[in-house]
Amino acid sequence: MLVKQRTIAGKASLSGVGLHTGNKSNMTFKPAPVNSGIKFKRVDLENSPEIPADIDHVIDISRGTTIALDGVEVHTVEHVLAAIMGCEIDNIIVELDANEPPVMDGSAKDYVRTLMHAGIVEQDEDRDYLVIEDTVHYHDDKSNVDIVALPLKNDFRITVMIDFQNPALGSQHSGLFNLQEEFAKEFAPARTFCFLKEIEPLIQHNLIKGGRIDNAVVIVDREFESEHEFKEFKKKIKLDDKVKLGTTGVLNDTPLRFKNEPARHKVLDLIGDLALIGAPIKGQILAARPGHKSNVEFTKMLRKLYLQKKIVKKFQMLKSSTGVLDIDSIMKILPHRYPFLLVDRILSIDLEQNKIIGLKNVTMNEPFFQGHFPGKPIMPGVLIVEAMAQTGGILLMHSLENSESKLAFFTTMDNVKFKKQVIPGDQLIFEMEILSTRRGFCRMKGKAFKSYIGGELAAEGEFSVVIVDKQ
């Protein structure tokens, strides 16, 4: 697999109409610097706002994937993202003068052709991957969907099975085993598809305004008692009168580009939605009956895993059962030093739940025991609280851009209670949770336990923190 990040050599454009909005749309791909990722840019709006293409910015998955930031939206991004990922491009700006990319023929082949025309260049920075080391399984019992990520050393493969209980489709499966050799020819040309019964409800929901018989494969899943009934149906959904039901199970007898074109398009959609992780995958993906809803939920799981692993790389975390951040890593994050560094190890970080668990071994060698108190050594409550705050601060720093240039200070402490004395030989476990962060202020709460989580509660409290720039 590729080692270096890639972008495009120059800009390249294409035009058309959006599938659901029907808006005329001009789209231009432009190069982007290393580590910037994929961003959609609305040049038709004031200040040309940019939206990062990641799972945190997904707001709708009803008939495609919509991303948004501060009220600015881009609809149906999955085919564009699939083309970018299929061409193994890491950093790119996708400029649009409308709120939806042009649908073209319903596949990703025109996007791929445009990207290839722009040229692809290597950048002077190593590529970041999400390496699947343990099985990740998503299951939706209601929709009968299963998606699994499995370890696969230094490679990427994806297999999809679909079964819509329709004679024209039957059960289909498709698999991509070599992105460089197979994607452009075998998967990018696979067009989007829908069922005839879906068209009228989609129109009623103000969707598929740009849908045409030549940019989607329509599967016939209903019967008409007469030609007149079908003719009236065509008028109702504004379908060209020349369109016929056909005999192949596909409206107008549109020839398929591949025998299993619908299954291949599901592979395409899944690749596009997985782009929202923010990094390519080293692993094997197996999906049974996936759709955008399940794709996005599965991608959330992988995005969480990716962010965890990204922290591992950034701060050189331990890879052992005893913790994820050792003292050397902690000292890269916190400015505190002896005798005021009061966290020895981070046991776990959950970025999705904004929770962290830290540890401090309390020994007789602590300097504060000399005076607190002679002959009766007890850890000062204010230092227990400080250790809790330091643990929470480690989590807080991961949520900030340019955290190296920031400092965090207490502003208030509420509901602080000390329950048990902490003495030499104890081990403190800190369980901290960030409740909110807004405009330089953070609210967190936490508990300190003696010996283990759920053990004797030593202290608890709620804290407000202000985040400032280092001078």
Residue 323 has pLDDT above 80, yes or no: no
Active site (annotated) includes residue 139: no
**Per-residue pLDDT reduced to its tens digit, 226-280:** 889 999 888 888 888 889 998 898 999 999 999 999 999 999 999 999 999 999 9
The question of whether 265 is a catalytic residue gets the answer: no
Question: Residue 25 pLDDT > 80, yes or no?
Answer: yes
H or E stretch covering 172:
strand 171-176
**Contact between residue 202 and residue 238 where contact means Cβ atoms under 8 Å apart:** no
**Could you write out the DSSP letters of every residue in 81-106?**
HHHHHHTT--SEEEEESSSS---TTS
DSSP string, 345-381: EEEEEETTTTEEEEEEE--TT-GGGGTS-TTS----H
Quickly state the pLDDT bin for 315 (edges 50, 70, 90): low
Whether pTM > 0.85 for this model: the answer is no
Tell me phi and psi for residue 463, to 5 degrees: -135, 145
How confident is the model at residue 311, as a pLDDT?
62
Alpha-carbon gap, residue 66 to 40, rounded angstroms: 11
Amino acid at residue number 466: V
**Secondary structure (3-state) at 139:** strand
- Distances, alpha carbon 249 to alpha carbons 197, 217, 222, 245, 398, in Å: 13, 10, 10, 8, 53
Among the listed residues 179, 164, 153, the one whose alpha carbon sits nearest the alpha carbon of residue 267: 179
Angle at 5 between CA 176 and CA 76, to 5 degrees: 55
Whether residue 461 contacts residue 415, with contact meaning beta carbons closer than 8 Å, is answered with: yes
Q: What is the DSSP string of 257-318?
A: SSTTHHHHHHHHHHHHHHGGGSS-EEEEEEEES--HHHHHHHHHHHHHHHHHHHHHHHHT--
What domains does the chain contain, in order, with CATH numbers? 4-188+263-306 (3.30.230.20), 193-256 (no CATH), 316-469 (3.10.129.10)
pLDDT tens for residues 173-230? 999 999 999 999 999 999 999 899 888 888 888 888 888 888 999 999 888 988 899 9
Question: Which of 57, 139, 336, 372 is labelled catalytic?
Answer: 372
| Helix 261-274 × helix 78-86 angle, to 10° | 80
Given 205, 292, 336, 398, the catalytic residue: 292
The SS3 call for residue 339 is: coil
